[in-house]
Structure 1
Amino acid sequence: MIKLNINDEISRLRAVVLGRADSNGPVPKLEDAYDPKSAEHIKAGTYPKDEDMVKEMEAVAAVFEKYNVEVYRPDSIEDYNQIFTRDIAFVIEDKFFKANILEDRSKEIDAIHSVIDEIDPSKIIEFPEAAHIEGGDVMPWGDYIFVGTYYGDDYSDYITARTNMKGVEHLRKLFPHKTVKSFSLRKSNTVAEDNALHLDCCFQPLGRGKVIIHKEGFLVEEEYEWLVNFFGKENCFHISKREMYDMNSNIFSISPDVVISEKNFTRLNTWLREQGFTVEEVPYAEIAKQEGLLRCSTLPLIRD
């Protein structure tokens, strides 16, 4: 049995589900794109190729191996995008939550049945149909759970709005002993630089009390200010619109001192090393074309 344990974003990682990229299928039609960044690359003829993305994911698998992390992979589904395991499920404490995600992606969860079969069934939780939630919007942080959402009445107009207030409320019911703090994110179906697809696309807490944040990703300034005050201004690494677009906040912590980051994030990686982090650099620029990066393609199961 897998004894799930996740209480934050940074404790020493022991087991994780890493996505796969070996059979994504043909380049999607423009009207089938789930986010503006993918659409941009479909239009430009620069949509990523499976073989390039497989190499990128193998580089991450090699880092996990180096740190003795147990890695699970989904079963392969032919012609189906299975890179972003963070969207399909998430773990808080010892509970495994199946996310309510876009209908077209519902097969992805079945492909990790080998993991789910090893979890105590009483610890597996599904959300009510009307409560939308995806793992990229959910960040356990000790006594807090940070959740990205979108407050607007036009929620249903945005394919990029993935977690609604019903999802937030349901999480509050499930964790009455924690503070579930929601943040309304800036959404755009058409302009990738104006779209914070998930909370981890504009914010991420790290070890050593540090945090990566993009101010414009937040629609409500007080909520952004709350985070800056919570972590301390001096601990915040602010990223630009372009850096958010390149997914600088979507790196991944193996421990409080070790992070995996994209090798082209020069400014960020330099700062991380200055703060005392060990930075394991990997190529991930092809995967980034689909508006996701390292946190999006990992689903942590056990941290110390």
Structure 2
Amino acid sequence: MTTTLQKSPATPALQGRSRPLEPIFRIILLVSLVIAVAFLATLLTYVLIEGWGRLDSRLWTNFPSRLYPERAGAQSAIVGTIYVIALTGVFCVPIGVATAIYLEEYANRERWWNRMIELNIQNLAAVPSIVYGILGLGILARGLGLGRTLLTAALTLSLLVLPVVIIAAREAIRAVPGSIRQGSLALGATQWQTISRQVLPAAVPGIATGTILALSRAIGEAAPLLLLGAVTHITFNPESITDSYTVLPIQIFNWIKQPEAEFHTLASAAIVILLVILLLMNSVAIWVRNRYQKRW
């Protein structure tokens, strides 16, 4: 007996429907983009023009001075910023990636504690930074006796950006096709061998990009570091994780408070240095993404 299969009638294409508001929506998006770019360009132009007179070697070779703005520099703030961000990366990246691996590859989503962990991670990503400053001051600086040191600042900023690192790493791991895992397991590899040799190398671009963007957020934070005792005027570079410190946002804040116009020029020049560091970090993220990105 022969059975004849008939094709079902084609479903009307969605693009054939009338969308009278779509051109208006596109115009609104374009106007929003133009306004955002215009404000950013205006800000960058103003800061560059204002600080151009002090964008010289004195800015990164001299230490701050309260009495002589023509001699003042931001060496201690630049070095402190690099130290704080480097320590933050050392603390938050391994923990964030390991947490993402557990949640994506090992965790049973039917267990209530795993769902609770995921919910808390998503909520913590939206907590204001000043709350983390209070947490670091109460628990790390005073409760654990770490004091207001470089280590306390790095640990606090690690808590601040850790949810962002976890979310970015999870998205990168989730983007790896399931067929890669299945093929590796079918060839006799263990789950950890599959994760370490197949999944993680394929997820490196997304993990690196998300991590650097998270650290870019941390590098501009001033509120939690003010609570943690970042010194507004420091004339030496930290030599250990237990030393006092300052960072560029704190130094900029201190110069802006001064009444002399020369200090405002210094602040603008320091903002340019901070933006350069941010652009370098974002450039590294773009390079890593383009260098190791795979198309499935």
Asked whether the two chains share a fold, i.e. TM above 0.5, the reply is no
Over alpha carbons, which structure has the higher Rg?
Answer: 2
Q: TM-score range by the shorter chain?
A: under 0.3
Q: Which has the higher strand share?
A: 1
| TM-score normalised to structure 1 length | 0.24
